[in-house]
Amino acid sequence: MCPLMAENQEVIEEGNSSELPLSAEDERKLTELAENVLQGWDIQVEKIDVIQGNQMALVWKIHTDSGAVCLKRIHRPEKKALFSIFAQDYLAKKGMNVPGIRPNKKGSLYSKHGSFLFVVYDWIEGRPFELTVQSDLEFIMKGLADFHTASVGYQPPNGVPVFTKLGRWPNHYTKRCKQMDTWKLMAQMENEDPFSQLYLQEIDSFIEEGLRIKDRLLQSSYVPWTEQLKKSPNLCHQDYGTGNTLLGENEQIWVIDLDTVSFDLPIRDLRKMIIPLLDTTGVWDEETFHVMLNAYESRAPLTDEQKQVMFIDMLFPYELYDVIREKYVRKSALSKEELESAFEYERIKANALQQLI
């Protein structure tokens, strides 16, 4: 499967749609585009399959005389794309299970065609993880730990900006709390809407709690940990999950689609894996929580202080924020019951995490 499925440097902070069937004409044009781009590689093409063609990130499976490879058009700003391309090459050469990158005829890891970068990767065969199966859940968390450990030591080449979130969490908390406060104005304009009525009744306590969580973060080991990590940071995937991992032969755990990588504390990826998964059940699943954390720590142990930082970060109402943003920014039609569920999950989550801190 393709890697999608499934000191003098500028430092920049980094901030699924469904696939519709392609028309025969669109598929022909995309095949011609791939043929044109692939002239820059020393590859004998036998057949081209369009895997993803209705998104800005385009993906092809290229059948060659020596096996399949993946051609991808990266839908990221060029500077961000370069940071991730060189990161993936670093990891692959270090022996991490990420798809290797095939250099073009000029020896470059990418080619530019128009305003987009194109990359040719090894094609990886495997199956997606099923997170309702405990063994798969453990495998995927072990893969995340291996990814974090292997990424230590990566530095992009001169001229490629560093993308980092190290030290930015307090600002992110403040920004989200301000947004949730501002969205009250939009709710007031929809005063007949049950969702907005409930939002106005309940949101203030969550905003206040979000700001208290920021204070707790600053009083924890967060600041010294980030300062320490700046000297030798690890990458965070930022979009780790079933769509970006595969279980290959001999239980190899493959991490694919590294377009969003950034330097940050490893626990960011843990929080983004664990909390949304538990949110799908509507209850706090203590057993699943510990299965995931224990599997990760079997490969990359965390100190008590580091876990406390993670638990504090997990307290922040990220999932509630996403629901509200869906309503007032993306203008999705959400019911009062969906907001009630989001509020209730935050309360359940907070009660469980408070016992761990």
- Could you report the per-residue pLDDT of 19-74, keeping only the tens digit for each? 567 888 889 999 999 999 999 999 999 999 999 887 778 999 999 999 999 999 99
The answer to whether the CB of 180 falls within 8 A of the CB of 203 is: yes
**110 lies in some domain:** yes
Average confidence score pLDDT of the chain: 92
How far from chain centre, in Å, is Cα 47? 32
Is residue 299 over pLDDT 70? yes
For 298: left if phi > 0, alpha if psi spans -120 to 50, otherwise beta; the answer is alpha
Q: pLDDT-based confidence at 249, cuts 50/70/90?
A: confident
**190 lies in some domain:** yes
Closest to 201 measured CA to CA, from 351, 336, 349, 338: 336
The answer to whether the CB of 72 falls within 8 A of the CB of 2 is: yes
Mean pLDDT (whole number) for 209-232: 98
Q: Find the helix or strand (DSSP H, E) in which 164 lies.
A: none
Closest to 338 measured CA to CA, from 194, 240, 212: 194
- Tell whether 188 and 250 lie within a shared domain: yes
State phi, psi for 342 to the nearest 5 degrees. Answer: -65, -45
**178 lies in some domain:** yes
- Tell whether 291 and 345 lie within a shared domain: yes
- Tell whether 204 and 321 lie within a shared domain: yes
Sign of CA dihedral 146, 148, 149, 152: positive
The answer to whether the CB of 86 falls within 8 A of the CB of 119 is: no
The answer to whether the CB of 242 falls within 8 A of the CB of 273 is: no
- Tell whether 118 and 177 lie within a shared domain: no
**127 lies in some domain:** no
- Tell whether 45 and 168 lie within a shared domain: no
- Tell whether 282 and 334 lie within a shared domain: yes
**222 lies in some domain:** yes
Closest to 234 measured CA to CA, from 294, 299, 326: 299
Give the pair of three-digit tokens for residue 310. Answer: 């993670």
- Tell whether 34 and 169 lie within a shared domain: no
Closest to 350 measured CA to CA, from 145, 163, 209: 209
The answer to whether the CB of 199 falls within 8 A of the CB of 324 is: yes
Q: Find the helix or strand (DSSP H, E) in which 264 lies.
A: none
The answer to whether the CB of 261 falls within 8 A of the CB of 238 is: yes
- Tell whether 118 and 190 lie within a shared domain: no
> What local confidence, expressed as pLDDT, does residue 2 receive?
61
- Tell whether 206 and 350 lie within a shared domain: yes
- Domain of residue 52, CATH code: 3.30.200.20
- Tell whether 218 and 167 lie within a shared domain: yes
Give the pair of three-digit tokens for residue 81. Answer: 């794309």
- Domain of residue 255, CATH code: 3.90.1200.10
**8 lies in some domain:** no
**118 lies in some domain:** yes
Q: Tell me which residue range forms the domain holding 215.
A: 162-354
Reduced to 3 states, what is the DSSP secondary structure of residue 135?
helix
- Tell whether 182 and 233 lie within a shared domain: yes
Domain count, the chain: 2
Give the pair of three-digit tokens for residue 222. Answer: 């967060």
- pLDDT (tens digit per residue) in 222-248: 999 999 999 999 999 999 999 899 999
**338 lies in some domain:** yes
- Tell whether 248 and 327 lie within a shared domain: yes
Reduced to 3 states, what is the DSSP secondary structure of residue 73?
strand
Which of 95, 122, 149 marks a domain boundary?
Answer: 122
> What local confidence, expressed as pLDDT, does residue 191 receive?
86
